[in-house]
Amino acid sequence: MRILIVEDEKDLARAVAKGLGKQGYAVDVCFDGEESLFMLDVNQYDLVILDLNLPKVDGMDVCRRIRLANDSTGILMLTARSGADDRVKGLEEGADDYLVKPFYFPELLARLRAILRRKGEQRYAILRSGDLVVDPNNLNGYFKDVAVGFTVKEFAIVEYLMRNAGRIVSQEELLEHVWSEDANSLTQAVKVHIKNIRKKLLDAGGENIITTVKGKGYML
């Protein structure tokens, strides 16, 4: 899952990005509303953590423009505005949830996961595909009850493939949703990670779980 943090408090933005990165999310950060609109135009995000008091373009306006574009990206408003009217207005403009600063990081994480479960297709907390089970809440993976020690990035790849089981996922799509903006589109990272995932699954007793479709991508 790829997330954009739009927050002009740079230390806070970087701290949240670091915390989400440890949870396996690919995270991009920007510090004003104008830049966020550019990044939203050129990248695909599963969720935006959006401050309201932003330079150049206000967060409420950013939210409004996202929804006017019929973009269903999840929006979690993160702001110091605690008034009920602000919360109501934010939700009416299309935000999925609203969290007031200062906040408890585990609560932000829980709200973020709840939004991701609600958006688009039904997203289940525990993902299952045959004998493969992954738990996004603690980054644990199992094959027939045998623990598979995925790295954070490997887990993110497996989770994305499981959420899209039965269809071909291209290398470009994996880079778009699992890596942050600084990823090199020409990198061999996807192939290397897929190879390592397959080896770990094979060691756990799972074979041919991820199929390579030549010239198109991967399918679970």
Using the predicted structure, report yes or no on whether residue 7 has a pLDDT greater than 50.
yes
My answer on whether 139 and 198 are in the same domain is yes
Rounded Cα distance, 127 and 135, in Å? 6
Note the pTM of the prediction, 2 decimals.
0.71
Last residue of a domain, one of 60, 86, 118: 118
Mean pLDDT, rounded, for 19-28: 90
**What letter represents residue 169's amino acid?**
V
Rounded Cα distance, 198 and 208, in Å? 8
For 150, phi and psi rounded to 5 degrees?
-70, 145
Could you report the per-residue pLDDT of 62-75, keeping only the tens digit for each? 999 998 887 788 99
My answer on whether 138 and 158 are in the same domain is yes
My answer on whether 60 and 100 are in the same domain is yes
Mean pLDDT, rounded, for 32-57: 93
pLDDT at position 121: 46
My answer on whether 146 and 199 are in the same domain is yes
My answer on whether 113 and 134 are in the same domain is no
Mean pLDDT, rounded, for 89-106: 87
pLDDT at position 81: 67
Last residue of a domain, one of 65, 88, 118: 118
CA angle (57, 113, 149) in 5-degree steps: 125
Using the predicted structure, report yes or no on whether residue 200 has a pLDDT greater than 90.
yes
My answer on whether 134 and 110 are in the same domain is no
Neighbours of 102 (CB within 10 A): 6
> Could you tell me what percent of the chain has a pLDDT over 70?
91
Could you report the per-residue pLDDT of 167-180, keeping only the tens digit for each? 999 988 888 888 87
Sheet containing 26-30: give its strands across.
26-30, 2-6, 47-50, 74-79, 97-100
User: Lowest-confidence range among 40-44, 84-88, 144-148?
Assistant: 84-88
My answer on whether 107 and 138 are in the same domain is no
Rounded Cα distance, 134 and 129, in Å? 9
Mean pLDDT, rounded, for 94-111: 90
Radius of gyration of the chain, Cα coordinates, nearest whole angstrom = 18
My answer on whether 36 and 132 are in the same domain is no
Using the predicted structure, report yes or no on whether residue 95 has a pLDDT greater than 80.
yes
My answer on whether 149 and 85 are in the same domain is no
My answer on whether 84 and 164 are in the same domain is no
My answer on whether 110 and 10 are in the same domain is yes
Cβ contact 164:155 at 8 Å: no
Of residues 148 and 188, the one with the higher pLDDT is 148
Task: State the burial class of residue 10 (Cβ atoms within 10 Å of its Cβ: 0-12, 13-18, 19+).
Answer: exposed
Rounded Cα distance, 88 and 100, in Å? 13
User: Which range marks the domain in which residue 203 is found?
Assistant: 127-219
Total of domains in the chain: 2
Mean pLDDT, rounded, for 158-169: 91
pLDDT at position 122: 44
Query: How far is Cα of residue 129 from the mean position of the Cα atoms in its chain?
Result: 20
User: Lowest-confidence range among 76-90, 97-111, 133-147?
Assistant: 76-90
CATH of the domain at 81: 3.40.50.2300
My answer on whether 138 and 99 are in the same domain is no
Last residue of a domain, one of 83, 118, 153: 118
CATH of the domain at 157: 1.10.10.10
Of residues 14 and 206, the one with the higher pLDDT is 14
